[in-house]
Amino acid sequence: MRSQTRKRFEHGESEYQPIEGQIVWIDDHTDDDKLFVIDLPDGVALDHEPGQFVQLFVPGVGEAPFSIASSPTNEGPFELCIRAVGNVTNAIHDMEAGDVVGIRGPYGQGFDVDAIAGEDLLFIAGGIGLAPLRSVINYALDRPGEFGELTTLYGCTEPAEQLFPEELDSWAGSDVMDYRETVDEVPEDQAWDGNIGVITSLIPPLEFDPESTVALVCGPPVMYRFVIKALREKGLADDRIYLSLERNMHCGRGLCGHCQLNELYVCLDGPVFHYPTVRDKEEAEV
């Protein structure tokens, strides 16, 4: 049995009361993406599982769900990587270190680290999908011996879209993880001497044992179907695939109905799903 969401915070009158989080550090990653390092009062740990999300509340603007980008092995402040696409995300991009936001959660089901213990892990991230995966990639890196071989594939539309550049460099130079990357295209003003092509182009050349490998996938909706197809062609069975899916969310706790995917609630039953659970659900679009 996987553990349910654990919670360390005392909520106020209801689950809808966020606790105060303070932005302690902001790192610009790309034109649109920033990393926010957030500290909870009294150094309390968020106590999340890799792959879970929080509801982040920006006063006067709104609330939105964000995957926790840091691993729970990294005690202390936690991290969110946020792309500015609308009201809440632009407002938080305008904030500065020292500013306060509201945090509810952690919510949802993350990657089931017990179920994948001992396996070789193949991480496949598209664009901002790296943020949720990073929580489990770093989890695996921080627990040597707990998993088998680690491989990460990362694809972006163009070189300037890459997140966590320093970390990518360290992964690329690491001998504990096989890291491979690609971009869809290279605009004239950007330098790139790596692979060009969609993320699925990284899969055929890979050598992995489908009997001992588990794939963990997160990216834009269009990506899933093609990645899964490529994985199947390499002989990977469906029950060796986990996906993190994104949906519209308002309550984060199984009531408001926005995140519903057929009979499932992405906020309660996901965002990380075992592929067989969602394979035959039309609304999963996988």
Partner 1 sequence: MKVIDRSDFTALIEELIASDPREVVGVQESGEQYVFDRLESAEQLALEHDLTALSPKKYVMPQRETLLTYEQTDDDYEMRAEADPTGHIVVGVHPYDLAAINQLDKIFIDTLQDEPYRRKREHSVLIGVTMQDVADTCFAASMGTATIDSGYDLMVTDLGDRFAVDIGTFEGDQLLESVPTRNASAEEVERVAEIKADLEDAFDRELAFPPAALPTLLEASYDDMDFWEDYAEQCLSCGTCNVVCPTCFCFSVDMIRDLEGDSGRQERRWDGCLLEDFATVAQGENFREEVAQRHRHRFMRKGWYIYERYGDIACVGCGRCTRHCVAGVADPCEVYNELREGQHA
Ligand X SMILES: Cc1cc2nc3c(=O)[nH]c(=O)nc-3n(C[C@H](O)[C@H](O)[C@H](O)COP(=O)(O)OP(=O)(O)OC[C@H]3O[C@@H](n4cnc5c(N)ncnc54)[C@H](O)[C@@H]3O)c2cc1C
Does position 156 interact with ligand X (CB under 6 A)? The reply is no
Does position 255 interact with ligand FES (CB under 6 A)? The reply is yes
Listing DSSP states for 99-134 in one string gives -EEEEEEEESB---TTTTTTSEEEEEEEGGGHHHHH
- Select the residue interacting with ligand X from 23, 37, 46, 88 (CB under 6 A): 88
Does position 270 interact with ligand FES (CB under 6 A)? The reply is no
Sheet architecture: strand order including 272-274: 195-196, 177-183, 150-156, 120-126, 213-218, 241-244, 272-274
In this chain, which stretch among 112-120, 192-200, 219-227, 247-255 interacts with ligand X, using CB under 6 A?
A: 247-255
The span from the CA of 101 to the CA of 132, in Å, is 20
The span from the CA of 83 to the CA of 31, in Å, is 9
The answer to whether 193 and 100 have CB atoms below 8 angstroms apart is no
In this chain, which stretch among 12-20, 152-160, 192-200, 256-264 interacts with ligand FES, using CB under 6 A?
A: 256-264
Does position 262 interact with ligand FES (CB under 6 A)? The reply is no
Does position 97 interact with ligand X (CB under 6 A)? The reply is no
Q: How far is the CB of 111 from ligand X (least distance, A)?
A: 13
Residue type at position 189: D
Interface positions with partner 1 (CB under 8 A):
11-18, 20, 57, 59-64, 85-86, 89, 100, 102, 221, 246-248, 250-251, 253-258, 260-263, 282-283, 285
